[in-house]
Each structure stands twice: as C-alpha cells, then as structure tokens.
Amino acid sequence: MSVNENTHQDEDRGFQSGMPNSVLHIDDVHKSFAGLHALSDVDLDVREGETHAIIGPNGAGKSTLLNVCVGRLKPDRGAVVFDGEVLTGKSPHEINQLGVARVFQTPEVFPDLTVLENVMVPALSNRDGHFTLNPFKRFSAERQLREEAEHVLESVGLTAQLTDLSSSMSRGDKRRLELAMGLIQKPRLLLLDEPTAGMARADTNATIDLLKQIKEGGMTKVIIEHDMHVVFSLADRISVLAGGRIIAQGTPEEIKVNPKVKEAYLGEEQV
C-alpha cells in the first residue's frame, strides 16, 4: 500500500500539492457538526488523470468531503488545494470556474428547463464565465454549443428527450442528465457522487463504459460509490474513509487485501 506521506505545511507559506503530479490536494481537513466529527485530519492526493474512488460505509463522511471540495461546506481546519489554488473559502461558482465540476448524488437539475437547456447552462458558463450580460444575443444562434450539448446528451442516452422538461424525467434519467451537465464542461476535475445509484444494471454498465471513455480523454475524476462493481471497474486508486478518517489508500488490488478495510467496511462481503 502506498501511504500518503505528505507533510502538513505551514499555512503562512501556502498550501503546496503533496505529490509531484497531484492535481487535488486535501490537506488535513477537519469538519464537525455539533460535536460529531464528520471528517478528521483527512489528507488525500488525487493525481492528474487518475480515477480516484472514495469508498466507505454510510456516514463515513464521503459526501461531506465532496461538499468541502466544491465550497458547499467550509472545513473547520485544513484546506483543499486544486492545481495550486486554495479552494477553501471560495464560492461554488469560483471553484467551478477553476475547472472543478460536481455530479450530485440526488439529482439537482433545473426542473423548469428542458433537458437541452439544463446542459446548455453549464456549457454557457464554461465558455462565458460566471456572468455575461448578453441580453441581445440569441440563444438559438449558439449552434456550436448546442451541437456539443446534443453530443454529450447522446453519449448518456438522452437524445430522445432533448425538449422534455427535466421535471418530467425518471430519477435514473435525471442522474444521466446530471452526468451530462458535468461532462459538458470538460472539467479538469470531475467529482462524482454515486453516479450510478438508482440505475438499472444495464444503465450502470453503460455509465461505466462512458466514464472509461472519458478516462482516455485524461480528465481527473474523484468518484464516491457504493457499488463495488463500479469502483473496481473504474478506479486507479482507492481511498477508504471510515468514521471521518482515511484508513487506507492504494490500488484496487491493495485495497482488496487490506485487512483494515475488510474489517471496517467490507465485513464478510466478498469483493
């Protein structure tokens, strides 16, 4: 097992990435809610281009960790550094503009917009920045972005529903739409919170294939997942979170045989 050996840096000197090719560096992050330690001293490095899975039992702090990364929660201590930029304290839109996109566990789409418009919102923000005053520009003239959006929607299998309101979609379809909203931005770092939860097995496999394809494109991904089939199909490295602490890190093979992981998370389950 390769143990993360980065040392805690002095805050005055700024946070440096712990590993030479690390793109996301989570540095000694601590977060508690009303006395309950959701995250304790979490150190984590995600390398450029890898798919890094974070697994752990329910309540281990996985979603809290993602929320800290995207600015939804502020850590009590520590910092998140993305490509040399400290994300802690930045607002969600600033973090996204730096190239970090998140796919939510419970689909958080725009219910009153059509499927295509849902994807066009992140596409436009990716191109135009966090605010552009263009009240006289025609939305229908955005042909290139629209084609890109249609292409991404095709890759997640939503071509037939382009003009449907997203509120009328099934939960599984909303998840695919969520994924498309993340992918359209071609982010440098994509944070996926259980992207296949609630999907039928066939859809799950299709999503795995899709994420594998993007992997070839070089996008760095952090994925939280309960489904071990998904984790072991996709992950280059795995971090195991239990009780708010990282108890193990390593390649899928190393994690499979790690006794601590078996004890804390997998239990009797055969991987």
Partner 1 sequence: MLGLEKSDFRLLLLVIVLTLFAPFLLNPFPVDSTMAQFNAGYPDLMQRFVIFGIFAIGFNILFGLTGYLSFGHAAFLGAGSYAAIWMMKLLTMNVIPAIVLSIVVAGLFSLAVGFVSLRRSGIYFSILTLAFAQMSYSLAYSVLTPITGGETGLQPKIDDPRILDSVLAVGQQARANLFGLDMSTSHDLIVGGWAFTFNAGYYVAALLMVISFYISIRIFRSPFGLMLRAIKSNQNRLGYTGVSARPYTLAAFVISGMYAGLAGGLMVAMDTQAGAERMFWTASGEVVLMTILGGAGTLIGPVLGAGMIKYMENIVSKINSTVLEGWFAWMPEIIQDVVVAVVYPFVGKGWHLTLGLVFMLVVIFLPGGLMEGFRRISDRFFGGSRKTDNSTGGTTAPTAAE
Instruction: Report the interface residues with partner 1, using CB under 8 A.
Output: 70-72, 91-93, 96-97, 101-102, 104, 108-114, 117, 120-122, 124-126, 128-140, 142, 163, 165, 181, 185
Closest to partner 1 by CB, 87 vs 231, is: 87
Closest to partner 1 by CB, 177 vs 240, is: 177
Q: Which residues contact 174 (CB under 8 A, 6 or more apart)?
A: 107, 109, 166
Q: Give the nearest distance from C-beta 35 to partner 1 in angstroms.
A: 27
Residue 205 in 3-state DSSP? helix
- CA distance linking residue 172 with residue 161, whole number of Å: 13
Q: Give the nearest distance from C-beta 1 to partner 1 in angstroms.
A: 33
Q: Give the nearest distance from C-beta 111 to partner 1 in angstroms.
A: 6
Q: Give the nearest distance from C-beta 103 to partner 1 in angstroms.
A: 9
Q: Give the nearest distance from C-beta 143 to partner 1 in angstroms.
A: 13
- CA distance linking residue 228 with residue 219, whole number of Å: 21
Closest to partner 1 by CB, 145 vs 242, is: 145
Residue 260 in 3-state DSSP? helix
Closest to partner 1 by CB, 96 vs 207, is: 96
Q: Give the nearest distance from C-beta 47 to partner 1 in angstroms.
A: 24
Q: Which residues contact 120 (CB under 8 A, 6 or more apart)?
A: 139, 142, 145, 146, 149
**Cα-Cα end-to-end distance for the chain:** 18
Closest CA to 225 of 99, 25, 52, 38: 52
CA atoms within 13 A on the CB side of 82: 25
Q: Give the nearest distance from C-beta 234 to partner 1 in angstroms.
A: 22
Rg (CA), the chain: 19
Closest to partner 1 by CB, 222 vs 242, is: 222
Closest to partner 1 by CB, 3 vs 133, is: 133
- CA distance linking residue 118 with residue 180, whole number of Å: 9
What are the backbone dihedrals phi and psi of residue 5, each rounded to the nearest 5 degrees, phi first? -115, 15
How many residues in the chain? Answer: 271
Residues pairing with 86 in the sheet: 81
Closest to partner 1 by CB, 19 vs 162, is: 162
